[in-house]
């Protein structure tokens, strides 16, 4: 049963509207702050929520919206700077929990925890990163079905399906020769979901959640018997934030030949310099049929349209499909366009705003204020806490923590160092720990690390 909350949403755009709609229908007490009279009127006329017309970076406006007594404040305007300042003010006013939405995560690189402590946010979500991960997983469709990233991108949690009998199903987990720095943290088997121990065995058909560093998880995927994709040609339309993120993650992947088509000459040159020769950057218009034919784009396996113009994305996908491209993926900037994408035969339409809103909804439904992700359709939570041992100990080995069966320490962060722990790993006071746990063990886990 979901606990009813007092929630303040700063920003009445696509993300804010979607959140307000769903949360109000779940009977949460919702207030929406926005300075645009048109957006505010739309929400007032269609949703049963409080609307405060004003600037979300002003303390008096946030106070009128109820931020000082809010269980959760979500900053989801289209301006990163507005969201950052709104988060800081809301936290200082007394909001219990704050979620920050960013388009550009670059400023946080290497300073994630500094920004977290300074701005006061509990969770930061990047629409660009989420959309890029979703697109990449659709390109690598035989591989990870779901990817979550933690610790400034240094740790991943992937969901894989064991489609056939393989090395991973041959014996108990503790006997498997797994890659270093990989941890099997959860298993979904038909209608069961559990945190495995070393004595459990994986079975064909299992959905396996694995934590670790990206390179080691790639090695784990190969053990799962996933067929090699072979060489694939991928073309990305648009070199904006999402296009660059896709290029950064796909370019080094084995077997991927990547090209980007960018209309802006300056941005195209910058992309070519960034790629260091790993990616071919073409300057031009991806809706120009002559360019598509000259560059033989029709021979590509996947075409990804990432521009901010839905109409251009639709036209480009239709053109390349007519030239022979097997699969088309496109960003949906307006949620109302999703149905049009389906009708016109786009293989995958991905809305960054809907992805962001749905991720926030998962946090709202989480059972712990320390939750930074919810997996297995809400059947387990990933908690982030700072380790504090109330008995005064200066360190404790993982096997001595007393974690219940149904909870596992997936990773710990010490300064900028990230460790995937074993039973003999020492946990020190002030280490940031990532714990995957079933809901019934939330209080026990939080008590063990001094969070209660």
User: What pLDDT score does 38 carry?
Assistant: 93
Q: Say whether 367-448 and 232-354 share the same fold.
A: no
Q: Compute the distance between CA of residue 214 and CA of residue 210 in angstroms, rounded to an integer.
A: 11
Q: Compute the distance between CA of residue 116 and CA of residue 100 in angstroms, rounded to an integer.
A: 10
Is the Cβ–Cβ distance between 84 and 10 less than 8 Å? no
Q: Greater confidence, 172 or 359?
A: 172
Residues 6+ apart with CB under 8 A from 110: 152, 416
Q: Please write the tens of the pLDDT for every residue from 266-282.
A: 999 988 888 777 789 99
- Predicted TM-score (pTM) of the model is 0.71
Q: Compute the distance between CA of residue 142 and CA of residue 163 in angstroms, rounded to an integer.
A: 10
Q: Greater confidence, 254 or 158?
A: 158
Average pLDDT over residues 108-117: 86
User: What pLDDT score does 6 carry?
Assistant: 95
The encoded tokens of residue 45 equal: 């006329």
Q: For residue 246, how many C-alpha atoms fall within 13 Å in the half-sphere facing its CB?
A: 35
Could you tell me the end-to-end alpha-carbon distance of the chain, in angstroms, rounded to an integer? 22
Q: Compute the distance between CA of residue 119 and CA of residue 113 in angstroms, rounded to an integer.
A: 10
User: What pLDDT score does 134 carry?
Assistant: 82
Query: What is the pLDDT confidence band of residue 286, given thresholds at 50, 70 and 90?
Result: very high
Q: Greater confidence, 356 or 121?
A: 121
User: What pLDDT score does 1 carry?
Assistant: 44
Angle between helices 112-119 and 80-93 (to 10 degrees): 50
Just give the CATH number of 130-223.
3.30.70.1450
CATH superfamily of 232-354: NAD(P)-binding Rossmann-like Domain (3.40.50.720)
> Is residue 304 pLDDT above 70, yes or no?
yes
Q: Compute the distance between CA of residue 225 and CA of residue 217 in angstroms, rounded to an integer.
A: 13
Q: Greater confidence, 6 or 229?
A: 6
Residues 6+ apart with CB under 8 A from 12: 20, 32, 33, 34, 36, 39, 40, 42, 43, 51
CATH match for 367-448 among 3.40.50.300, 3.30.750.24, 3.30.70.1450, 2.60.120.380 = 3.30.70.1450
Q: Compute the distance between CA of residue 110 and CA of residue 182 in angstroms, rounded to an integer.
A: 23
Q: Compute the distance between CA of residue 369 and CA of residue 97 in angstroms, rounded to an integer.
A: 7
Q: Which residue has the tokens 């149904």?
A: 406
Q: Where in the chain are the domains?
A: 6-121, 130-223, 232-354, 367-448
User: What pLDDT score does 226 carry?
Assistant: 66
User: What pLDDT score does 112 carry?
Assistant: 83
Q: Compute the distance between CA of residue 312 and CA of residue 305 in angstroms, rounded to an integer.
A: 8
Nearest to 155 by CA among 413, 432, 431: 413
Q: Compute the distance between CA of residue 28 and CA of residue 323 in angstroms, rounded to an integer.
A: 49
> Is residue 353 pLDDT above 70, yes or no?
yes
Q: Please write the tens of the pLDDT for every residue from 226-239.
A: 665 567 899 999 98
Q: Which CATH architecture has domain 6-121?
A: 3-Layer(aba) Sandwich (3.40)
Is the Cβ–Cβ distance between 136 and 250 less than 8 Å? yes
> Is residue 173 pLDDT above 60, yes or no?
yes
CA 111, distance to chain mean position in Å, is 19
């Amino acid at each position: 049963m979901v606990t009813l909350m007092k929630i303040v949403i700063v920003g009445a755009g696509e993300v804010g509207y979607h959140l307000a709609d769903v949360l109000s229908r779940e009977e949460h007490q919702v207030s929406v702050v926005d300075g645009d009279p048109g957006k505010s009127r739309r929400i007032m006329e269609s949703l049963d929520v409080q609307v405060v017309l004003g600037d979300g970076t002003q303390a008096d406006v946030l106070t009128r919206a109820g931020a000082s007594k809010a269980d959760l404040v979500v900053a989801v305007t289209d301006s990163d700077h507005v969201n950052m300042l709104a988060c800081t003010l809301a936290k200082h006013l007394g909001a219990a929990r704050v979620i920050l939405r960013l388009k550009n995560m670059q400023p946080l690189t290497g300073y994630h925890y500094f920004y977290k402590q300074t701005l006061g946010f509990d969770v930061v979500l990047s629409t660009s990163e989420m959309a890029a991960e979703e697109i990449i997983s659709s390109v690598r469709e035989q591989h990870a079905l779901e990817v979550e990233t933690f610790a400034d991108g240094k740790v991943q949690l992937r969901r894989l399906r064991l489609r056939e009998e393989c090395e991973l199903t041959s014996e108990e987990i503790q006997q498997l020769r797994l890659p270093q720095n990989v941890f099997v943290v959860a298993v979904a088997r038909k209608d069961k979901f559990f945190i495995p121990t070393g004595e459990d065995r994986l079975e064909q058909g299992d959905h396996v959640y694995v934590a670790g560093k990206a390179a080691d998880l790639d090695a784990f995927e190969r053990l799962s018997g996933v067929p090699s994709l072979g060489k694939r040609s991928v073309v990305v339309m648009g070199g904006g934030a999402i296009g660059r993120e896709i290029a950064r993650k796909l370019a080094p992947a084995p077997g991927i030949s990547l090209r980007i088509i960018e209309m802006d000459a300056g941005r195209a040159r910058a992309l070519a310099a960034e790629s260091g020769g790993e990616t071919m950057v073409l300057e031009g218009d991806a809706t120009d049929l002559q360019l598509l034919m000259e560059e033989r784009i029709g021979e590509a396996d996947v075409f990804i349209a990432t521009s901010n113009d839905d109409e251009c994305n639709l036209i480009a996908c239709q053109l390349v499909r007519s030239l022979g491209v097997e699969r088309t993926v496109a960003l949906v900037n307006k949620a109302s366009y999703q149905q049009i994408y389906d009708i016109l035969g786009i293989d995958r339409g991905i809305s960054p705003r809907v992805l962001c809103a749905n991720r926030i909804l998962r946090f709202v439904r989480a059972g712990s204020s320390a939750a930074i992700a919810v997996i297995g359709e809400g059947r387990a939570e990933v908690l982030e806490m700072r380790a504090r041992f109330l008995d005064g100990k200066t360190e404790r080995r993982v096997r001595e923590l007393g974690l219940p069966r149904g909870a596992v320490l997936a990773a710990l962060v010490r300064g900028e160092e990230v460790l995937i722990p074993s039973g003999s790993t020492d946990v020190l006071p002030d280490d940031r720990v990532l714990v995957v746990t079933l809901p019934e063990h939330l209080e026990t886990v939080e008590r063990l690390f001094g969070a209660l």
